[in-house]
Structures are given as C-alpha cells and as structure tokens.
Amino acid sequence: MSFGLLYVVCRTEKEARKICLKLLEKRLIACANIVPSINSIFRWKGKIENAKETLLLCKIRKNDVKKAGKEILKIHSYEVPCICLLDVDSLNSSYKKWLISEISIKK
C-alpha cells in the first residue's frame, strides 16, 4: 500500500476545513494539516497576482487520489484549484499502521 500527501491550495481556512472534513467523513484521508495564511504569487489571466491563501496537506492512500480529487472539485471555490500528489517514499512503521487503520474501513 502506498501513500502520499495531497497538496491543495484553498481560498480560505474555512474552505480548507470543509474539504478536510468531507474527505475524513468518506475515509479518503487519514489526517490533514491546515496551514493558514500562505502568500502565493502566480500568473493568472495575463497578470501577476499576489494572494493570501490556505494550504491543506492530506495524508492519503495513492489509490484514493482520484476519488478525493472529485470530492474536492465539488467543494472548491477556484476555477482551477491546485490539487497535487506528493509521493511519500518512507514512513515510520507505527504511523503507517495508524494511517492504514484510518482509511482502510469500507467506504
């Protein structure tokens, strides 16, 4: 079983929390970290933009990324949200066991 971090940039902390709770309810993730107030600089529709955003990092089984992405798109307020899987090459065994216990129950 392989895992990753699902990196999702959200407009607000409230939006990140809503996404996190939905993914937890559906047991698509075991845990998430919400990092408020990140500063993002990007090009959008020909202009350089600067925005305060919130970062959501979800611990996820790679097999569940597509399902989670679909759920995120139902909730997310952005026209083009950043939903990116970061590979996790190594986990300590006790944490891996906990992850498996949290997301392996039938959905």
For 22-66, what is each residue's pLDDT tens digit? 999 999 999 999 999 999 999 999 999 999 999 999 999 999 999
pTM: 0.89
Mean predicted lDDT score pLDDT of the chain: 93
Q: What residues have CB less than 8 Å from 23, skipping those under 6 apart?
A: 29, 32, 58, 60, 68, 71, 72
Q: Grade residue 102 by pLDDT with cuts at 50, 70 and 90.
A: confident
Tell me which residue range forms the domain holding 73: 3-103
CATH number of the domain encompassing residue 75: 3.30.70.120
Query: For residue 28, what is the DSSP state?
Result: S
Q: How many domains does the chain have?
A: 1
Q: What is the pLDDT of residues 63-81, one digit of tens each?
A: 999 999 999 999 999 999 9
Residue 68 · residue 58 · CB < 8 Å = yes
